[in-house]
Structure 1
Amino acid sequence: MKIKHHILAYFICVFLIFVLISFISVSKSQNGLFHFDTINELTESDLISESLLLLMSSEVPRLKGNLYENDIKMPDFSSLLFEFTSGITPKRFTSLIELELPGKKSLSNGVYLAGKESDLTAAPIESPPPDFEKLLKEEQPGEQSEQEEESSQDTSDADIFIYHSHAWEAYLPLLDDADKKPSEASTTNHNQNVVNVGAMLTEQLERRGVNAIHDKTNVTASLHEKGWGYSDSYKFSRQSIEEVMSNNGNITYFIDIHRDAQRKDETTITIDGEDYARIYFIVGLEHEDYGENLAFAKELDGLVENKYPGLSKGIYEKDKSEGNGIYNQDISAQSILIEFGGVDNTREELKNTSEVLAEVISEHQKGDAMKVNNTGD
């Protein structure tokens, strides 16, 4: 009896091995029995692809170095197991819909307008949430940035508000630590993060006779004081906007400056021998009047394109699947989020672009003023 059981187990093992070999070797065109849509989805998964690359890198030193430079890390086992078994990406509910709706996946990453960037790999990339505990321990510099010291214009009648929902977003060339990776490019030091860019833009606007209020709040500390976290960033900046509006009724332009996580080749352009940090206009789709913000973005994008072709990467639409989805743009038709350069841009490149953007905003603002005057007449 035991011999029969051994023989039966042997044949079952052989059969299972045969099935496994067939599953691996038989092409989909030869045998549809082994074709599963979920398998195709899994092979397209960034999470699983990166995990396989990391396993391969243990034997290929050059590959390991490349993955380290691009800050690709091994995901935790529970996330990997969940996606492998279900085809659903953790923390991204839309992946569940993508499995069932053909074509949904190709539409979930925003929309490029004006025929600028046809390659979806050029889409803006959000930096991972920073280590707030580490940022809160940073010592603040005793001196203001050069741009902040020079800014002395009265802002009681300002009509432009420049702020930063993610004020900690920094630029690697501006940081003191040359060994930091892109995912670590965060700091509360205003000389090294997007607040410095806001100061540059404010200064350039003032030189053109345009009054602007620049919010230099340490958003990290302010969120901590309220017991809020990363996901409350736009809720906090909305409070800042409402406070400014209550004190300055003239403000109609609201500019939220961020920094893209794309690398140097995607965020830098040379025009007439000068290097510039490229910009990206972001429009949120999750409010009924987003069309007005889109029209505003198109106007700014058109002005930039006419003066400095290629400096703007275009307009990118975002819904809730990619983040907040509103970005406080329901406050005003002239509210916009701008990705200002990328993680590798230098201070000089950022300064050059701030001059261009100030020129464009000033031109647009003066054009609006003329329209109002003509209407009044």
Structure 2
Amino acid sequence: MMKKIQGFVLLLLFFFLLPIITGLLPFPNNEKFVPATPEEKIVYASNDLVVSDVAPPIDPFKVLLVFTHSHETYKPFVENEKGMVAVYDDHSNLFSMQSLFEDYFRLNGISATTLDVDVMNVMKQNGKAFHEAYKTARPYIAEELKSNHYDLILDIHRDSTSRNKTTIVHKNVSYAKVAFVIGAENPNYKSNKTLAQALSDSMNQIIPNISRGIIEKKGSGVDGVYNQDLAKEMILVEIGGIDNTEDEVYRTVAVMAQAVANSIAKQ
């Protein structure tokens, strides 16, 4: 009798363990199901000018982005970020926007790098006055140019003038206007100006009158050089003014990147 009970228990145990044992065997249909991870896609801010995918690289064209007045910012940008109004800020500023600036150039097949120095923070740490910004930035730029070659160097700034002078609407979309500043008292003046004019013209072909043109600086009370003597390929560009929005600025950077790819990079 005991043997019959033991046999019955063993039989029950066998049928109980059978599905588990079967599941562990290497049969074709017993593979563990792992849901496929959907392919991640990078989505960039879209408007009628930005391509939806990365353009083929324009080898070996390289752009260096410099932010001499790194804490320059836009009122709407700081207000959205911090709920306050400011035209200079330690964190929400041009320098903090560098990654997206670089992305727009890369979208157009251009290698873009930012000079990794917060110039105005260095000035603050060393007790430097505002007018010493170009002098403070100079050794960092010079050192970078010793180590690497760039086809275009853009020192990016924000103008202090009002919105009606720094904004343009094209096909119901608003953009921050740009102005190119050339130091007329440096040995690379003609080369700097020629390059700035080409970029200005190319941007205006994409968005009519988005560029305010070239502003030459010389004489007493102004810098007159702006470190542009360090390279024939260096120009200063002011993107918008204190009242322009973050979106307007980014749209204009997209136009600029496309203009560089369309003209200067293909020369």
TM-score (norm. length: structure 2):
0.72
Do 1:169 and 1:193's aligned partners in 2 also have CA atoms closer than 8 Å?
Answer: yes
For residues 197 and 338 of structure 1, do their structure 2 counterparts lie closer, same or farther at Cα, with a shift above 3 Å needed?
farther
Alignment-mate amino acid for residue 359 of structure 1? Q
Q: CA deviation at 1:216?
A: 4.5
What does residue 187 of structure 2 align with? 288
Do 2:184 and 2:218's aligned partners in 1 also have CA atoms closer than 8 Å?
Answer: yes
Bigger relative contact order (CA 8 A; separation at least 6): 2
User: In the TM superposition, what are the counterparts of 1:133-282 in structure 2 within 5 Å?
Assistant: 159-176=62-79, 180=85, 184-189=86-91, 192-248=92-148, 250-282=149-181
What does residue 246 of structure 2 align with? 347
Q: CA deviation at 1:283?
A: 0.7
Q: SS where residue 229 of structure 2 aligns?
A: coil
TM-score (norm. length: structure 1):
0.52
Aligned mates of 1:264, 1:225 — CA distance in 2 = 32
Q: CA deviation at 1:284?
A: 0.6
Aligned mates of 1:325, 1:199 — CA distance in 2 = 30
Aligned mates of 1:158, 1:225 — CA distance in 2 = 35
1:220-257 CA-partner distances (Å, limit 9, x unpaired): 22123344322221112211211211221x21311100
Aligned mates of 2:131, 2:175 — CA distance in 1 = 31
What does residue 134 of structure 1 align with? none
Q: SS where residue 194 of structure 2 aligns?
A: helix
Q: Does 1:366 align with 2:262?
A: no
Aligned mates of 1:243, 1:200 — CA distance in 2 = 25
More helix by share: 1
Identity of aligned residues (%): 27
For residues 324 and 198 of structure 1, do their structure 2 counterparts lie closer, same or farther at Cα, with a shift above 3 Å needed?
farther
For residues 315 and 198 of structure 1, do their structure 2 counterparts lie closer, same or farther at Cα, with a shift above 3 Å needed?
farther
Alignment-mate amino acid for residue 87 of structure 2? A
What does residue 10 of structure 2 align with? none
For residues 306 and 343 of structure 1, do their structure 2 counterparts lie closer, same or farther at Cα, with a shift above 3 Å needed?
same
What does residue 329 of structure 1 align with? 228
Alignment coverage as a number of residue pairs: 208
Do 1:201 and 1:357's aligned partners in 2 also have CA atoms closer than 8 Å?
Answer: no
Alignment-mate amino acid for residue 275 of structure 1? S
1:345-372 CA-partner distances (Å, limit 9, x unpaired): 111111111110010112234223xxxx
Cα RMSD between the aligned structures? 2.1
More strand by share: 2
Q: Structure 1 regions of 5+ residues with no counterpart?
A: 1-145, 148-156, 369-377
- Larger radius of gyration between Structure 1 and Structure 2: 2
Do 2:188 and 2:231's aligned partners in 1 also have CA atoms closer than 8 Å?
Answer: no
Q: CA deviation at 1:326?
A: 0.4
Q: CA deviation at 1:285?
A: 0.8
Alignment-mate amino acid for residue 78 of structure 2? L
What does residue 300 of structure 1 align with? 199
Do 2:176 and 2:244's aligned partners in 1 also have CA atoms closer than 8 Å?
Answer: yes
What does residue 61 of structure 1 align with? none
Aligned mates of 2:256, 2:144 — CA distance in 1 = 22
